[in-house]
Amino acid sequence: MISLYVDPGSVVADVTYGKGVFWKLVPLGLYDLKATDISTGVDCRELPYADGSLDCVVFDPPFMHSPGGSAHAGHQLFETNYRNNEASIDKSDHGALLDLYFKASDEAFRVLKSTEFIS
Ligand SMILES: C[S@@+](CC[C@H](N)C(=O)[O-])C[C@H]1O[C@@H](n2cnc3c(N)ncnc32)[C@H](O)[C@@H]1O
């Protein structure tokens, strides 16, 4: 899907890289991929890139927050595979996820090159 929108050679940051599943079918070297995740020490709300320096940001955030995993009895694989509780957040409910989405979106806007839209 990325080939529909992003030219080869573009600088792309996947800021929630996780296990890199999104990249399994993308030829290595086609993009200048910067792969980070909170599990490797980079918070998507505070990216180590200069303003306007990236062509594309890939953001595949956690979908739910359930401290301790107790809300998902029977869905432990979801917890394990998506590590939904790794977002370091200071709120305890759905608002926490929204907060993450808004802050990460602002940060993506900061690091992305500005684009001219064609109408
Ligand atoms: C839905 S999974 C992403 C799966 C990923 N696309 C893959 O292919 O494996 C959500 C990811 O967000 C990461 N994450 C959670 N909070 C984060 C944060 N504040 N900054 C960066 N990554 C975060 C988790 O560690 C997890 O890898």
Number of domains composing the chain: 1
84 CA to centre of ligand 1 in angstroms? 7
> Does residue 9 sit within a domain?
yes
- Domain assignment present for 74: yes
Residue 54 in any domain: the answer is yes
In this predicted model, what pLDDT tens digit does every residue of 8-55 receive, in sequence order?
A: 999 999 999 999 999 999 999 999 999 999 999 999 999 999 999 999
Q: What residues are in contact with ligand 1 under a 6 Å CB criterion?
A: 15-16, 18-22, 37-39, 43-45, 60-62, 82-83, 86-87, 100
Expressed in angstroms and rounded, the spacing between residue 113 Cα and the centre of ligand 1 is 23
Cα(119) to centroid(ligand 1), Å? 34
Q: Confirm whether 119 is domain-assigned.
A: no
Flag whether 116 is in a domain.
Answer: no
State the pLDDT confidence band at 91, using cuts at 50, 70 and 90: very low
Could you give the CA distance from residue 32 to residue 76 in angstroms, rounded to a whole number? 34
State which residues form the domain around 35. 2-111
CA atoms within 13 A on the CB side of 95: 3
Alpha-carbon distance of 114 to 33, in angstroms, equals 19
